[in-house]
Amino acid sequence: MQTEEIEDIEIQLLLDAIRLRYGYDFRSYNRASLNRRIRNCLTHCDFKHISEIIPRLLHEGLFLQRLISTLTVTVSSMFRDPEVFLALREKVMPVLATYPFLNIWHAGCATGEEVYSMAILLKEVGLYDRTQLFATDLDDEALAKAAEGVYPAEKLTEFASNYRVAGGKRDFADYATVKGGLLRVDPALRKNVLFANHNLAGDGVFAEMQLILCRNVLIYFDSTLQERVLTLFADSLARGGFLCLGTHETMEFSKLHDQFSPIVKKHRICRKSIQHRRPAW
């Protein structure tokens, strides 16, 4: 047997151990990227073989978070893909402005940059005070950073430039303070944000949403898990609710495709049908 084949067995055993011991199911993650990340874990944790991770994981509860941090990719930015935020500002906000109260869900919010970007956008269009934002992720360490809202000060130039392209109306520095090498977002942006652990691979619907953003998350899932998650979003959205996926993600191949109409196809923004679905009989 080749080393790679043995490693494949070890990876299957490891994924079973994570699921059976902690209930997190990584079996439907894109295998190539997951395998690469597990192999990286060997170097970080000073193990020779993947199977050596298993006893540590089973007997040391705290090791789970370390492993989750290795398996997930939490890279994000304020106003990431700024044209998407410009499209949300121009095409989605005017519709949301007609509702008395809004629920917005950032699924896979990572370290929070996306939800703070949305908070800024909502403030600028006058909708923040009637919006409840939900920011969820599987990774507790990322969520803790998100709730803190503190980023390296060097990010300021990138954040400010994205903000401008996204149609920002003020100076980005109005929303953050920079001191001692750290950029702290204005705590007022956090007022209506609820950060919570939610696992897209296992957890269910928790509120009726007018807008869901799930960007750069589905790319890590196989097609079965992508379909599960898209079904969860379809069930979580109010009629006429908006869904925004990542630039490399699509629902074109999903069974749910005909329940949605494209709003800005290029930026993966679509809208759940407003009409009642006709019963099958």
Residues that bind ligand SAM (CB under 6 A): 72-76, 80, 108-110, 114, 137-139, 142, 199-201, 215-217, 220, 246
Q: Nearest approach, Cβ of 65 to ligand SAM (angstroms)?
A: 11
Q: Which is nearer to ligand SAM, 41 or 73 (CB)?
A: 73
Contacts 24+ apart (CB under 8 A), 140-144: 140/65, 140/68, 140/197, 141/65, 141/68, 141/69, 142/69, 142/72, 142/74, 142/109, 142/110, 142/111, 143/109, 143/195, 143/196, 143/197
Q: Nearest approach, Cβ of 141 to ligand SAM (angstroms)?
A: 9
Cα separation values, 24 from 7, 108, 164, 255, Å:
20, 15, 39, 26
* C-alpha to C-alpha distance for 221 and 151, rounded to whole angstroms: 27
Q: Which is nearer to ligand SAM, 37 or 130 (CB)?
A: 37
Q: Nearest approach, Cβ of 278 to ligand SAM (angstroms)?
A: 33
What letter represents residue 29's amino acid?
A: Y
Q: Which is nearer to ligand SAM, 114 or 227 (CB)?
A: 114
Q: Which is nearer to ligand SAM, 52 or 141 (CB)?
A: 141
Q: Nearest approach, Cβ of 135 to ligand SAM (angstroms)?
A: 9
